[in-house]
Amino acid sequence: MQNSRPDYGETTGLLYDLAMQKYGIAAQTVVLCEECSEVIKAASKLLRYGKQGRQDLVEAFAEEIADAEIMMEQLERYYGIERDTIEQYKFAKRCRLKTSIDGDSNGVPDGETKED
Ligand SMILES: [Mg+2]
């Protein structure tokens, strides 16, 4: 895997740059915090009411995840965080999760290698 910007395309990257220029890092960081809180609220509602017959809550959760991811991508771009860095952290954390689930000393999730 080679180093790269997040894989959302140049048009989206330009959009994120324009948003950052217009609103600034402080405002965009506040919006990220707000969107993360909306993810928490949507997850909480799903836990409280369950998903049976509540596709509206599942959709709301998906929408809030999208909002939060968009803000994370903007800050990721602003701070020059490489996609590979995030993927490496995610891989390591999935390995830790697998280890905690099944006590596997290898810790590599099924279908992945340490080189992914
Ligand atoms: Mg939202």
Can you give the three-state secondary structure of 22-88, one letter per residue? Answer: HHHHHHHHHHHHHHHHHHHHHHHHHHHHCCCCCHHHHHHHHHHHHHHHHHHHHHHHHCCCCHHHHHH
* Distance in Å, CA 1 to ligand 1 centroid: 32
Residue 21 and residue 34 in one domain: yes
Say how many Å lie between the CA of residue 104 and the centre of ligand 1: 38
Between the CA of 116 and the centroid of ligand 1 the distance, in Å, is: 32
What confidence tier does 2 reach under pLDDT thresholds 50, 70, 90? very low
Q: Is residue 3 part of a domain?
A: no
Q: Compute the distance between CA of residue 38 and CA of residue 69 in angstroms, rounded to an integer.
A: 12
Q: How far is the CA of 64 from the centre of ligand 1 (A)?
A: 5
Task: Examine residue 2 and state whether it is found in any structural domain, yes or no.
Answer: no
- Distance (Å, whole) CA 9 – CA 21: 18
Question: Is residue 33 predicted with pLDDT exceeding 60?
Answer: yes
Residues 17 and 65 in one domain: yes
pLDDT at 6 over 80: no
In-domain check, residue 39: yes
Residues spanned by the domain of 74: 9-81
80 in Cβ contact with 6 (< 8 Å):
no
Same-domain pairing of 57 and 67: yes
pLDDT digits (tens, 9 = 90+) for 65-97: 999 999 999 999 999 999 999 999 999 999 999
**Mean pLDDT of all residues belonging to the chain:** 90
Are 90 and 63 contained in the same domain?
Answer: no
Average pLDDT (22-46) is 98
Q: Is the pLDDT of residue 10 over 90?
A: no
Do residue 73 and residue 26 come from a single domain? yes
